[in-house]
Amino acid sequence: MSWEDNVRRVVPYVAGEQPGRADVIKLNTNECPYPPAPGVAKLLSRMDCGALRLYPDPNGTPLLEALAEYYGVKREQVFVGVGSDDVLATAFLTFFNSGRPILFPDVTYSFYDVWAQLYRIPYRVCPLDEEWHIRPEDYKQPNGGIVFPNPNAPTGLLEGLGTIEEILQANRDVVVIVDEAYIDFGGASALPLLEKYDNLLIVQTFSKSRAMAGLRIGFAIGSEKLIAYLNDVKFSINSYTMNLPAQCMGVEAVRDDAYFKGVTSKIAATRERVKKELAALGFTFPDSMANFIFASHERIPAEELFQKLRAADIYVRHWNKPRISGFLRITVGTDAQMDRLLSVLKAEIAPKAGVFH
């Protein structure tokens, strides 16, 4: 017998590569290419570091209040955590305890199965259809809970509220989590459905559209009862999860709505332009409503393009997994970054694919 016999072993989530250099074009982790709202920088410059000797507000009250006001809900309907990963992990631990398998898509955010394995939650994946969409009928089988992103990752496809409500109607006895990490880039949030479904939990993040991945801020909105249960678990693990600077700067980010909408509009416009350019180069892709494009070339393997881009100091994401090994997930950067990406792709593809004459 060894102490290792009692170790909880899991296959961990693998994050996108962090090059550690400033002179690369980093399009592999869906970060925002623009800085946070100006008020964030101003607050950081005048922050009283003496306050850091004290514990932060365990509830994150100022941020809860700012989010509640912005989204038109009660403060008791909002939960904050250290990035949406923290919020989702707490939700898995809180709500998925029936012993029945939870359901999520086969091509989706690859942290879901990691949490399920970590917390010993049985799970079953539901294959997306040939067009990469969720099939609502797959979520009408007995289950212990449901989670899926909308828009989905890595495909970027958005499901309509009708699809989400069909799933909710068939699953009133379990918690349904809609992970809206990318909703701000062109989709309609499921927030209006909260009035009808007290088992719906919506999770969002400041890492993408609010350009604050480095501060790790995530939040959930749901019924007061759902949020109360989340808080019970949170305060049983660590009362002081979100640090003081994150709480204060998060409030500033929420307050500047004009900047927020300007950034998301700019990214969406760049995304649509790059879609046209990629199509002209022979790429196909689902119609992404996120801040990335999930693209496959008709002739050149994704792994080959991945390596060529990396050699040019352009980092994108590639997975050697069933169904998606032929695709690259390309984060939408600035226009200049995307022009550089397109230039490298044109130089690589033209001689092999006969795109240009």
Name the percent of the chain lying above pLDDT 90. 90
Q: Which of 16-20, 83-87, 182-186 has the lowest mean pLDDT?
A: 16-20
229 shares its domain with 158: yes
**pLDDT, tens digit, for every residue of 55-95?**
999 999 999 999 999 999 999 999 999 999 999 999 999 99
Domain annotation covers residue 1: no
246 shares its domain with 326: no
- Give me the mean pLDDT over the 168-173 stretch: 98
Count CA atoms closer than 13 A to 218's CA, side-chain side: 21
Task: Supply the pLDDT for residue 355.
Answer: 45
190 shares its domain with 127: yes
116 shares its domain with 212: yes
Question: What is 208-259 written as a DSSP string?
Answer: STTS-GGG--EEEE--HHHHHHHHHHHHHH-S--S-HHHHHHHHHHHH-HHH
185 shares its domain with 155: yes
Q: Count up the domains in the chain and report the number.
A: 2
**pLDDT-based confidence at residue 352 (cuts at 50, 70, 90):** low
CATH of the domain at 233: 3.40.640.10
CATH of the domain at 20: 3.90.1150.10
185 shares its domain with 81: yes
Q: Which of 9-23, 77-91, 142-156, 332-346 has the lowest mean pLDDT?
A: 9-23
- Give me the mean pLDDT over the 308-312 stretch: 96
CB 194 within 8 A of CB 222: yes
93 shares its domain with 135: yes
225 shares its domain with 275: no
Domain that residue 61 falls in? 46-255
Give the residue from 114, 111, 166 showing the smallest Cα distance to 135: 166
146 shares its domain with 129: yes
Task: Supply the pLDDT for residue 158.
Answer: 98
Task: Supply the pLDDT for residue 311.
Answer: 96
Residue 357 has pLDDT above 50, yes or no: no
d(C-alpha 112, C-alpha 40), whole Å: 31
222 shares its domain with 306: no
pTM score, whole prediction? 0.95
Domain annotation covers residue 40: no
Domain annotation covers residue 81: yes
